[in-house]
Amino acid sequence: MRHPFVCRPVISIPSESPMRSVDVVIVGAGAAGIGMARALQDVPGLECEILESGRIGESFRRWPVQTRFITPSFYSNPFGLADLNAVDATSSPAIFAGAEHLSGPQYADYLSFIVEAAELSVTCDCKVLDVTRCANGRFELETEQGGYETRFLIWACGEYQFPDLKPFPGGQWCLHYADVGDWQSLQPGHYTVIGGYESGVDAAANLVARGHSVRLLVRRATWDLADIYDPSVALSPYSQERLRDLQRSGRLEIVYGADIVQVSRDEAGALRVHAADGRYWDSQTPPVLGTGFLKGGGARQIAELWSWDDQGRICLGSADESLRTPGLFLVGPQVRHPPLIYCFIYKFRQRFSLIAREIAERLSLEYLPHEQAGSWGPFGNAECCEGCEC
144 and 127 in contact (C-beta within 8 Å)?
yes
C-alpha 323/C-alpha 331 separation (Å) is 14
Whether 141 and 186 map to the same domain: the answer is no
- Select from 56, 7, 51 the least CA-distant residue to 147: 51
For residue 8, is pLDDT > 50? Answer: no
- pLDDT tens digit string along 230-266? 888 899 999 999 999 998 999 999 999 999 999 999 9
Whether 122 and 192 map to the same domain: the answer is no
For residue 226, the model assigns a pLDDT of 61
Whether 208 and 263 map to the same domain: the answer is yes
Whether 284 and 301 map to the same domain: the answer is no
Dihedral sign (CA 69, 72, 75, 76): negative
For residue 2, is pLDDT > 50? Answer: no
Whether 157 and 27 map to the same domain: the answer is yes
Q: Mean of the pLDDT values across residues 55-73? A: 97
Whether 259 and 115 map to the same domain: the answer is no
Bridge-based pairing of strands 288-289 and 252-255 is unpaired
Q: Mean of the pLDDT values across residues 37-50? A: 97
Whether 73 and 142 map to the same domain: the answer is yes
Whether 189 and 97 map to the same domain: the answer is no
For residue 222, the model assigns a pLDDT of 85
Picking from 256, 271, 289, the residue at the C-terminal end of a domain is 289
In a domain, 261, yes or no: yes
In a domain, 3, yes or no: no
Whether 320 and 277 map to the same domain: the answer is no
In a domain, 166, yes or no: no
56 and 29 in contact (C-beta within 8 Å)?
yes
For residue 370, the model assigns a pLDDT of 73
Whether 51 and 140 map to the same domain: the answer is yes
In a domain, 280, yes or no: yes
For residue 5, is pLDDT > 50? Answer: no
Whether 184 and 58 map to the same domain: the answer is no
Picking from 243, 264, 289, the residue at the C-terminal end of a domain is 289
Amino acid at 256: Y
Least confident of 1-10, 28-37, 268-277, 279-288: 1-10
Q: Is the peptide bond before 339 cis (omega within 30 degrees of 0)?
A: yes
C-alpha 319, offset from chain centre: 19
Residue numbers of the domain that contains 236: 171-289
For residue 335, is pLDDT > 90? Answer: yes
SS3 string, the chain, reads CCCCCCCCCCCCCCCCCCCEEEEEEEECCCHHHHHHHHHHCCCCCCCEEEECCCCCCHHHHCCCCCCECCCCCCCCHHHCCCCCCCCCCCCCHHHHHCCCCCEHHHHHHHHHHHHHHHCCCEECCCCEEEEEECCCCCEEEEECCEEEEEEEEEECCCCCCCECCCCCCCHHHCEEHHHCCCHHHCCCCEEEEECCCHHHHHHHHHHHHCCCEEEEECCCCCCCCCCCCCCCCCCCHHHHHHHHHHHHHCCEEEECCCCEEEEEECCCCCEEEEECCCCEEEECCCCEECCCECCCHHHHHHHHHCEECCCCCEEECCCCEECCCCCEEECCCCCEECCEECCCHHHHHHHHHHHHHHHHHHCCCCCCCCCCCCCCCCCCCHHHHCCCCC
How many structural domains is the chain composed of? 2
Higher-pLDDT residue of 76 and 152 is 152
pTM higher than 0.95 = no
Whether 92 and 185 map to the same domain: the answer is no
Picking from 264, 289, 314, the residue at the C-terminal end of a domain is 289
374 and 215 in contact (C-beta within 8 Å)?
no
For residue 1, is pLDDT > 80? Answer: no
In a domain, 7, yes or no: no
- CATH value at residue 281: 3.50.50.60
In a domain, 92, yes or no: yes
Q: How far is CA 230 from CA 87, 179, 385, in A?
A: 21, 27, 12
Q: Mean of the pLDDT values across residues 174-186? A: 96
For residue 224, the model assigns a pLDDT of 78
- pLDDT tens digit string along 369-389? 876 544 555 566 666 555 555
In a domain, 61, yes or no: yes
For residue 356, is pLDDT > 90? Answer: yes
26 and 52 in contact (C-beta within 8 Å)?
no
For residue 138, is pLDDT > 90? Answer: yes
